[in-house]
Amino acid sequence: MRKTNNINISSSRDLPAPGEISSELPLSLPAAAQVTASRDEIKELIQGKKGRFMLIVGPCSIHDPAGAIEYARRLKALSDKVSDRIMIVMRVYFEKPRTTIGWKGLIYDPDINGSYNIAKGIFIARKLLLEIVDLGLPVATEMLDPILAQYIADAVSWAAIGARTTESQTHRQLASGLSMPVGFKNATDGGVQVALDAIATAAGTHSFIGVSEATGHVGVFRTKGNKFCHIVLRGGPTPNFGAEYIAFVRVAVAKRNLNPGIIVDCSHANSGKDPARQHLVLEDLMRQKKAEGQDCIIGAMLESYLSPGCQKIVDGVRPKSDVSITDACIGWEETEKLVLDTYGALA
């Protein structure tokens, strides 16, 4: 009889259960307390309560743990200087949604050579997260694969659902069960309706299929609903961070009785995919907050790394540790200046 299943599967291997990885790499009690405290602060911001301005800052994606730790150390020192007005959260993204093909992130291909040693990638990613949290920095990441969330979510203070997956029922169900606040990005066409639907959906209860933390077996998870989801504006065919658009979104959110806090992604379509233009977005947001009293703008995202720009992946050559291998970023010097300028604008 001809085979009818797994025709296009060349191989398979079991992954260790999430509980096995977390037992080997446990979240310490001080780190757990820090994650809880940072989540609580973000929840208050999302609900419209006054507090520090949130800056989610870091590389487009993590590709080199040593470079990421060096960046985290610098970011922690900068965070300490501005902590009375700004809550800095490090962007630590391990999964990259691809429009076509390309490197899918540290978890999927940690050796950047097409070997796809996902078990190794999970271990490296969790170890790095714990090291960054132990430095005293809260972390943010994008949740792309629903199964992988079980391996890292306990160390994450804020999560994003990307523009390509905001409309996905699977990701809305995932968000409804996540333990941290979740930002849904507007769709790639620039419209916010899909994101508003996602926020409302994730607040409800759901059942979905996932893997058990303890055993790694497939099971059914019932969720309570995540009441701390909100919108992230990342632009579309045109930017959507201007005062008129912010005012429009503010009204649209209020009509749906959703959380009023808005985070603006200064990169991607809002900067025309030019990292050097991110400062223009952030400066405009500061003007809106100061001149127009737009307190609904609670935070911003910046793509930033040790050195500016990006590099191509070359077969057989290990990429430099200090330059992004996905989207181009601003370098450390500009990052520091932008954060300090924002600190001054918030005075």
pLDDT in tens, 119-135: 999 999 999 999 999 99
Would you state the pLDDT for residue 99? 63
Would you state the pLDDT for residue 290? 87
Indicate if the pLDDT at residue 53 is higher than 90. yes
Domain count, the chain: 1
CATH number at residue 308: 3.20.20.70
**16 domain residue, yes or no:** no
**239 domain residue, yes or no:** yes
Mean pLDDT, to the nearest integer, of 11-30? 95
Q: Which domain holds residue 223?
A: 28-44+51-345
Residues 6 or more apart from 247 whose CB is under 8 A from it? Answer: 294
Q: How confident is the model at residue 102 (pLDDT cuts 50, 70, 90)?
A: confident
The candidate with the shortest Cα–Cα distance to 240, out of 273, 212, 209, 281, is: 281
Would you state the pLDDT for residue 30? 97
Would you state the pLDDT for residue 262? 98
**183 domain residue, yes or no:** yes
**8 domain residue, yes or no:** no
- Give the range among 89-98, 171-180, 243-252, 279-288 with minimum mean pLDDT: 89-98
**21 domain residue, yes or no:** no
**11 domain residue, yes or no:** no
Indicate if the pLDDT at residue 292 is higher than 90. no
Phi, then psi, of 299 in degrees rounded to 5:
-175, 175
Tell me if residue 97 falls in helix, strand or coil: coil
208 neighbors 262 (Cβ within 8 angstroms): no
Would you state the pLDDT for residue 291? 82
CA angle, 228 as apex, 224 and 229 as ends, to 5°?
100
Would you state the pLDDT for residue 293? 82
Q: Of 83 and 316, which is predicted with more confidence?
A: 83
Q: pLDDT digits over 258-284, tens only?
A: 999 999 999 999 999 999 999 999 999
Q: Dump strand ranges (E) for the chain.
A: 53-58, 86-91, 139-142, 158-161, 182-185, 207-211, 218-222, 229-233, 262-265, 297-303
**5 domain residue, yes or no:** no
Q: How confident is the model at residue 2 (pLDDT cuts 50, 70, 90)?
A: confident
- Strand 158-161 to 207-211 pairing: unpaired
**6 domain residue, yes or no:** no
Mean pLDDT of the chain: 96
- Strand 207-211 to 218-222 pairing: antiparallel
